[in-house]
Amino acid sequence: MGELGNIIDYRWLVSSEAAPWLERAAEAEETPESLLKTNIALRGDLGTQRTHLVIAQIQLRRRARQKFRQADRMFFTRQLLEQATEERIAKYKAARFPQQGHLLDLCCGIGGDLISLGLRATTQGVDRDEVATTLAMANCETLDLKSASVLVDDAAQVAVDDFTAWHLDPDRRPEGHRSTRLTLHEPDLSSMERLLSTNQQAAIKLASATGVPDSWKAEAELEWISTRGECRQQVAWFGDLARTPGQRAATVIIDGSVNACTVRGEPNLVTPTASQVGRYVFEPNAAVLAASLTGQLAIEAELEAIAANIPYLTGDQPVDNPLLAGFEVVETMPFTIRRVRQYLRKQGIGRLEVKKRGVRLTPEHVLAELSPTGDRAATLLLMPINKKILAIICQRL
């Protein structure tokens, strides 16, 4: 059963019979008035159930544009769209898989990873949800991908040794509540371990905050991947797919492309603390923070920490690295609302971005208290230092 209908409804949705209705709904403007008018117009021909299905599909396609270039031709449910790997990450991951042989994508959902793997080599998608497999197959057909096929089955029971390599995106909320515990995933940890014992050429997609067994930390490469400013997923690479077994990696997919920048190394390395704030301050990408690789990145970029255990780095030279957001320091001062407010007004700064690490203040509260006015823009960084709060006013590089 899908979110808005049964399997018969979803089979109808991906058929040629539904295509004219999807086109008609897509022509409507994205306003409540237009949505209501379209709903009334379609309901007379389709009935309430399928009208809701069509309109919801158009809304999902619009939401999916950030993830998929051809979203307006694809099929989704709300939950499956949320779970799907976006296209640029899927292409990046698929590039690690062999181009020869037969690949397997377990818990394929609507086909986010399946499509990119299918462009790499012949790929079999598997999902126990018949709605998911119906949509995944429709998406492959829509994109004219003949090298991918889909079947309904229990991922834990598939013979992975029949395939060259396999990818798994386990269900993190089989009981309806999202979890980062592998024992509560489906397939669960014991099932994953059994699959790995059969064929170790594998990549397992996980949530960024998911903890893994010590054996995985020793055998696999753990990689955190970000796009559009957020860490989207963690991947445990096994066998020949792991480039640096036993190490961690943090990767950012650069906006507007499939190019990537990666740092690899040991987690939680101690970063030397600077004697004072330098000319520039740098904030590590979300994937670096999730992977605990701030220390490794600081070493490579020749930067120091502003304060112990606070992931703001500093140096006197600009650093051009997609894994670091850079700021040029304009002023530093002990933080009080009154003092910072006076400075902002004197400088005519009215467009203020507030960022913080290690303090309980919220950016929204600080911004409301400061009430900046003026035409100039700046960024305010807040962090603890020597049991006080340090304010750094700066400009983004």
Please check the confidence at residue 1 and state whether its pLDDT lies above 60.
no
Cα–Cα distance for residue pair 178/210, rounded to 1 Å: 11
Give the residue-averaged pLDDT of 333-338.
98
Tell me what the pLDDT averaged over the chain comes to: 95
Residue 25 pLDDT: 92
Model pTM greater than 0.75? yes
For domain 80-264, the CATH architecture is: 3-Layer(aba) Sandwich (3.40)
Give the residue-averaged pLDDT of 212-240.
97
* pLDDT bracket for residue 32 (50, 70, 90): confident
Cα–Cα distance for residue pair 155/53, rounded to 1 Å: 28
- Provide the token pair at 140: 């492959």
| Region for 387 from its dihedrals, namely left if φ exceeds 0, alpha if ψ lies in -120 to 50, beta otherwise | left
Residues 6+ apart with CB under 8 A from 271: 294, 295, 298, 299, 303, 304, 305, 313
Residues 6+ apart with CB under 8 A from 14: 75, 134, 135, 138
pLDDT tens digits for range 338-347:
999 999 999 9
Please check the confidence at residue 269 and state whether its pLDDT lies above 60.
yes
Q: What is the CA radius of gyration of the chain?
A: 24
Residue 395 pLDDT: 98
- Provide the token pair at 99: 């181009």
Residue keyed to tokens 């040029």: 328
Please check the confidence at residue 312 and state whether its pLDDT lies above 60.
yes
Residue 114 pLDDT: 99
Please check the confidence at residue 149 and state whether its pLDDT lies above 70.
yes
Residue 257 pLDDT: 62
* pLDDT bracket for residue 45 (50, 70, 90): confident
Residue 177 pLDDT: 73
Residues 6+ apart with CB under 8 A from 202: 160, 165, 166, 167, 168, 195, 196, 237, 238, 239, 241
- Provide the token pair at 94: 């698929």
CB 380 within 8 A of CB 396: no
Please check the confidence at residue 96 and state whether its pLDDT lies above 60.
yes
* pLDDT bracket for residue 206 (50, 70, 90): very high
* pLDDT bracket for residue 38 (50, 70, 90): confident
CB 63 within 8 A of CB 56: no
Residue 241 pLDDT: 99
- Provide the token pair at 252: 């950012």
- Provide the token pair at 307: 């304060």
Cα–Cα distance for residue pair 182/186, rounded to 1 Å: 8
Please check the confidence at residue 3 and state whether its pLDDT lies above 90.
no
* Sequence-ordered strand ranges (E) for the chain: 102-106, 122-127, 148-152, 165-168, 202-206, 221-227, 230-237, 248-253, 260-265, 280-284, 304-307, 310-315, 324-334, 349-356, 376-385, 388-396
- Least Cα distance to 168 among 246, 114, 227, 226 occurs for 114
* DSSP three-state, residue 345: helix
* pLDDT bracket for residue 36 (50, 70, 90): confident
Per-residue HEC secondary structure of 358-376 comes to CCCCCHHHHHHHHCCCCCE
In whole angstroms, how far apart are CA 156 and each of 84, 127, 128, 233, 354?
Answer: 20, 10, 10, 21, 46
Please check the confidence at residue 107 and state whether its pLDDT lies above 80.
yes
- Least Cα distance to 311 among 266, 336, 275, 281 occurs for 281
Residue 243 pLDDT: 97
pLDDT tens digits for range 283-302:
999 999 999 999 999 999 99
Give the residue-averaged pLDDT of 87-91.
96
Give the residue-averaged pLDDT of 168-188.
87
Cα–Cα distance for residue pair 225/220, rounded to 1 Å: 16
- Provide the token pair at 177: 């509540």
